[in-house]
Amino acid sequence: MRNKKTPAKLSTNLIHKGDGKFCRKLADMSSVPETFPVYLTSVFAFDEVPPVDAIYEHKSDAYIYSRMANPNSDAVAEILAAADGSPSARKKKTGALVFSSGMAAIITAILSSVKSGDHIVASSVLYGGVYDYLANELPRFGVSVTFVDFLKDDFTRAFRPETKLVYTEIISNPLMEVPDIAAIAKEAHSRGLLFFVDNTFATPAIARPLSLGADASLYSTTKYLGGHSDITGGALTANSELVAKIKRFQTLYGAMPSPLDCWLLARSLRTLDLRMKKHSKNALLVAEFLEAHPKVEKVFYPGLKSSPSHKTAAAQFANGRFGGMLSVNIKGGVREASKLIKEMKIISFVPSLAGTATTVSYPVKTSHRAYSAEALKAAGITQGQLRFSIGLEDADDIIADISASLDKI
Ligand SMILES: *Cc1c(COP(=O)(O)O)cnc(C)c1O
């Protein structure tokens, strides 16, 4: 029996007041929120059956279930499509999809493009997780992969009749090499192959792979697009036909991010251009400092004139920017690299990248653990190699921290 002190219909009111019907009322008002709100809803409500039929018959783009699409995933996709969109060679409309992680974006894009018996040509220096997937997981499904050095090899020799896909990063991790995207696109397309480019390190504020001829531009939005080390996510941009094809797999595999993460990503994208400008400016200053330092063997940064990738990078990158990522070979090995990490005060050891703060990572100990000793050697990833993600602080303070720490090793 109802307790007299409880108002009638308490449970019903708690459940039904201020619910989705309130959105209808809002939609009829003559003002809208200045910023796009977060739609934390897993599902959408209907008054009758026909609108649901219309969605499944592709006659309506209303929402039904947030794993398939939701206002926040669409809002952020709209921003990304506009950022990467270009009158591509094929003159198709650019679309975008967002994912629950960079790995989800990359794997969903790859799985939607190959089947058992197919072959992929990929760069030998890749984000560790992607390398692990290509080298150790895809073969389980009968898909083989040949790894090539797009800068040094005649990569066309790796193509086979069953090759379907060509894959590279626009700035390789951790060696910061920049392949000629337009040249690879030309070779791939002349054979009818798809060409995917991981644009995580550059972002649309520095390079737009679709305009250089790639079929899809892939992102870990955990990195610069998010930019504040507070979300895990992924994205891709491509022409609307390819997006529609990959979207089917995204829905099946359940690789959709939460509406809140989409909202955070949209918020971060507002400042992407400003952030990439400062990341790039600071990174060049740090790279120049390191290059002149006696305890440094080698600096890997495409913005340095000494970089073998400098010319290609300058030709493909916008606004004289080369990004915030650089690697450095410290003279010595594990002992010296570990000591430097320990000595630095404002720079923390963070096995990721692209936040607002400058951080350092140690590829052989973290992201590139999946590489065998031979693969590391072949790629040029050494025990004395550290990777810096240069942040948005005052460049003088970043350099002072590295300089004082180098003095102690
Ligand atoms: C981090 C990263 C990935 C993987 O993204 P997650 O969001 O960690 O799944 C892929 N490619 C590059 C270049 C990355 O830096």
Q: How confident is the model over 285-296, as pLDDT tens digits?
A: 999 999 999 999
* Ligand 1 center from residue 103 Cα (angstroms): 6
Find the mean pLDDT for residues 48-66: 94
Has 39 been annotated as catalytic? no
Tens digits of residue pLDDT in 190-228: 999 999 999 999 999 999 999 999 999 999 999 999 999
Q: Which of 318, 319, 310, 317 is nearest to 291 (CA)?
A: 310
Taking the CA of residue 352 as reference, the ligand 1 atom at the shortest distance is: 1
Mean pLDDT of 358-364: 95
Q: Please tell me which residue, 177 or 25, carries the higher pLDDT value.
A: 177
At 111-163, the pLDDT tens digits run: 999 999 999 999 998 888 999 999 999 999 999 999 999 999 999 999 999 99
Exactly one of 127, 219, 301, 371 is catalytic; name it: 127
Mean residue pLDDT across the chain: 94
Quote the ligand 1 centre to 116 CA distance (angstroms).
25
Q: What number does the ligand 1 atom closest to the CA of 104 have?
A: 9
Residue of 58, 64, 57, 94 whose CA lies nearest to 79: 94
d(CA 258, CA 39): 10
More confident residue, 290 or 17: 290
Closest residue by Cα to atom 7, ligand 1, is 102
> Could you tell me which residue, 267 or 25, shows the higher pLDDT?
267
* Chain center to CA of 70: 21
**Beta carbon of 84 within 6 Å of any ligand 1 atom:** no
Could you confirm whether 127 is annotated as catalytic? yes
How far does the centroid of ligand 1 lie from the alpha carbon of residue 123, in Å?
Answer: 15
Other C-beta atoms within 10 Å of 403: how many? 12
Is residue 407 among the annotated active site residues?
no
**Which residue do the tokens 């947030």 mark?**
66
The pLDDT, as a whole number, for residue 91 is 62
Out of 200, 265, 388, mutate this one to test ligand 1's pocket (max ligand atoms within 8 Å of CB): namely 200
- The pick from 98, 100, 101, 103 for probing ligand 1's pocket by mutation, whose C-beta has the most ligand atoms within 8 angstroms, reads 103
Active-site residue flag, 223? yes
CB 14 within 8 A of CB 22: no
Q: Is the pLDDT of residue 110 over 60?
A: yes
- pLDDT of 82 strictly over 70: yes
Q: Choose one of 99, 127, 171, 199 to mutate for the ligand 1 pocket test, by most ligand atoms within 8 angstroms of C-beta.
A: 127
Nearest C-alpha to atom 1 of ligand 1 is from which residue? 220
Q: How confident is the model at residue 88 (pLDDT cuts 50, 70, 90)?
A: very low
Of 25-39, 169-183, 271-285, which range is least confident? 25-39
Q: Buried b vs exposed e over 202-230: b needs ≥16 C-beta within 10 Å?
A: bbbbbbbbbbbbbbbbbbbbbbbbbbebe
Average pLDDT rounded to a whole number, residues 39-46: 94
Q: What is the pLDDT at residue 23?
A: 84
Give yes or no for residue 379 having a pLDDT over 90. Answer: no
Give the model's confidence band at 25: pLDDT under 50 very low, under 70 low, under 90 confident, else very high.
Answer: confident
C-beta of 102 in contact with ligand 1 (< 6 A): yes
**How many CB atoms sit inside 10 A of residue 240's CB?**
14
Please give the single-letter amino acid code of residue 19.
D
CA separation for the pair 183, 179 (Å, rounded): 9
Cβ(127) – ligand 1 distance below 6 Å: yes
Query: Is 80 exceeded by the pLDDT of residue 299?
Result: yes
* Separation of CA 131 and ligand 1 centre (Å): 11
- Supply the pLDDT for residue 196: 98
Give yes or no for residue 30 having a pLDDT over 70. Answer: yes
Catalytic-labelled residue, pool 39, 84, 167, 223: 223
* Beta carbon of 130 within 6 Å of any ligand 1 atom: yes
CA angle 195, 198, 204 (to 5 degrees): 105
Separation of CA 17 and ligand 1 centre (Å): 42
Q: What is the mean pLDDT of residues 244-256?
A: 96
pTM, 2 dp: 0.93
Instruction: From 193, 239, 240, 238, select the one nearest 219 (Cα to Cα).
Output: 238
**103 CA closest ligand 1 atom index:** 9
